[in-house]
Amino acid sequence: MNQLDQLKQFTTVVADTGDFQVMKQYTPQDATTNPSLILKAVQKAEYRPLLEKAVRGNEGTDAVMDALLIAFGCEILAIVPGRVSTEVDARLSFNTEATLAKARHLISLYEQRGVARERVLIKIASTWEGIRAAEVLQREGINCNMTLLFSLAQAVACAEAGAQLISPFVGRILDWHKRQAGDKWDAAANAGDNDPGVRSVRQIYDYYKKFGHPTEVMGASFRSTEQILALAGCDLLTISPDLLEKLAASESTVERKLSVDQAQAGNIARIECGEAAFRWQLNEDAMATEKLAEGIRAFAADAVKLEAMITA
């Protein structure tokens, strides 16, 4: 068995792409999208008709954007057997009511296309305001994927809000630590189990399993297959096409690294995550604070670029 097939024995594999051909090739259970991935996809000739159809059939940029997201989501759900993640505009990350309105609208568009809400995860940035929106949406039967997550404080707040799934970002955490260390970065000492992004996800996974939180953990934003394999056993891992290809090309042995039994046996302390505690813990974590803000800006910028394509 290749590494990808071995990994699927321990972990649900999710495709981190808007490319339908990749999904057909590697048969993931679920798929995730974001504005950056959609923007990349619609610049390819084979996906241009989806953009043109959305533009022809809707009035106004917002309506076209929503129609395009739903069009991609429906195409993806015709390929994968599980769920698709569709992202709320990052520019709403600090507005609970606007996030609620957009999430409900996206779900209604899916349901108009005959897609059950159980097959959709609404992606929301893991700000305090986004987490509060998720808490309401989950009570309404709208499942949420909490993205741009870089810290245990964010993860605990999401779990306590009842979020269906979180997407802690592995590669971006590594990027931050490498940049901070500069010439002093020791790649060998910070590889595998010692990778700071891997350690962060393992800490969150262990906390959830120790205290019985049902929220799913989906590692995201990988830079290498080594990071992926160091998290074998995580509930889900969302993987980009180039790394799916590398895993499929290798037959080296994959070992399970994370398990419920191991997590429950650990000595882990509960943390408080009311609003004041959440904001303070996030503020004290320079990496999480910077990467959350940076991620929101980047997704918002790509949404603006996509709107420009629509206008053009």
253 pLDDT higher than 90: yes
pTM above 0.85, yes or no: yes
CATH label of the domain that carries residue 169: 3.20.20.70
39 pLDDT higher than 90: no
Structurally, the chain folds into a number of domains equal to 1
Domain that holds residue 104: 3-311
Catalytic residue check, 102: no
The answer to whether 34 and 123 have CB atoms below 8 angstroms apart is yes
The number of helices, as runs of H, and strands, as runs of E, in the chain is: 15, 8
Q: At what angle do helices 61-77 and 48-56 cross, to 10 degrees?
A: 130
- Alpha-carbon distance of 170 to 65, in angstroms, equals 28
pLDDT digits (tens, 9 = 90+) for 105-135: 999 999 999 999 999 999 999 999 999 999 9
Section 89-103 average pLDDT: 98
pLDDT of residue 35: 80
Give every CB contact of residue 157 below 8 A, 6+ residues apart in sequence.
126, 128, 131, 273, 278
Of the candidates 8, 102, 123, 257, the residue annotated as catalytic is 123
The answer to whether 125 and 94 have CB atoms below 8 angstroms apart is no
pLDDT digits (tens, 9 = 90+) for 67-82: 999 999 999 999 999 9
